[in-house]
Amino acid sequence: MKAIRIHEFGGPDVLELEDIEIPKPAGDEVLVKVYASSVNPVDQKIFAGEAQQKFPTKFPLTMGWDVSGVIESVGEKVHNMRIGDEVYGRPFPTTNGAFAEYAVVKANQLSPKPKSIDHLNAAAIPLAGLTAWQGLFQYGKLQKGQKVLIHAASGGVGSFAVQFAKWKGAYVIGTGAAENLSFIKQLGADEAIDYKNERFEEKVSEVDLVFDLIGKDTQQRSIQVIKEGGRLITTVQPEFQEEAKEKHIHLEGFTAQSYPADLKQIADLVDEGKVSPVVSAVMSLEDAKKAEILSSNKSSRGKIVIKVV
């Protein structure tokens, strides 16, 4: 089978298209015929060697931590899935991924894919959707009527976060590039702020939750806009604990997990027409290197999908 693998750390040039053997599932795993995967920012950190502490890498490693496809075979301990089932999910980033024609994935990291969309759109959901869902609700405790500020609101995670927060009944403010402000509002945001030409801390106050996908200066400035007792949840390093404590703000970082229950809730929202994945481009497996370079553009919208079948 064809797969995109790395044998060393570096830039996008370390991604190589290779012919390798189809893997065999262990007892608690399934073999998925991959129809599509998608690109995530964590890809670039992993192949650059910048994620070793969180995701220690063993070479060679097949890239790709979103999958949508059809089960080809099941391990002997798997009883809730059958050959032919359409599934989607997020393989764990230290294991071989889905930039490949087949991928072995633990059964407890997969869920039935949304019925109303194809594999190309379903592949845009798992990692970004799970990150947004867990950041807002598991860690952020977002409730109806609360005010949430979402940074990088037009991106893969941000575009889901805006939709989820609006579905929950929150007042949603998103930051993004000027050319994406109308798009952020189309996703459901009540306000959209140009992060390059406006200071969000001068326009926003008394926020219950900030969902930070950027970190550094953005994280530090976000503390100013959160009400006492509010929360700052980040997908990067939670660097400003002392400043947060002074304002009685809960600051926490997290890494999303592939929980089937969360994937099912997201799939239900998609099938009910309340949430839609945003796909900005579809590229072939052979063009995975180009896809990663395109994804590094910080003003991109939604997700870049890798079409395998």
128-253: CATH topology = Rossmann fold (3.40.50)
- Predicted pLDDT at 300: 75
**3-class DSSP string for 35-49:** EEEECCHHHHHHHCC
Q: What is the pLDDT along the chain (309 residues), one digit of tens a residue?
A: 999 999 999 999 999 999 999 999 999 999 999 999 999 999 999 999 999 999 999 999 999 999 999 999 999 999 999 999 999 999 999 999 999 999 999 999 999 999 999 999 999 999 999 999 999 999 999 999 999 999 999 999 999 999 999 999 999 999 999 999 999 999 999 999 999 999 999 999 999 999 999 999 999 999 999 999 999 999 999 999 999 999 999 999 999 999 999 999 999 999 999 999 999 999 999 999 999 999 987 667 999 999 999
- Give the pairing of strands 67-74 and 29-38: antiparallel
- Predicted pLDDT at 211: 99
- Predicted pLDDT at 297: 74
221 phi/psi in degrees, rounded to 5:
-65, -30
**3-class DSSP string for 247-289:** CCCEEEECCCCCCHHHHHHHHHHHHCCCCCCCEEEEEEHHHHH
Every domain of the chain and the residues it spans: 2-125+277-307, 128-253
- Predicted pLDDT at 298: 66
Residue type, 28: D
Say whether 128-253 and 2-125+277-307 share the same fold. Answer: no
CATH superfamily for 2-125+277-307 is Medium-chain alcohol dehydrogenases, catalytic domain (3.90.180.10)
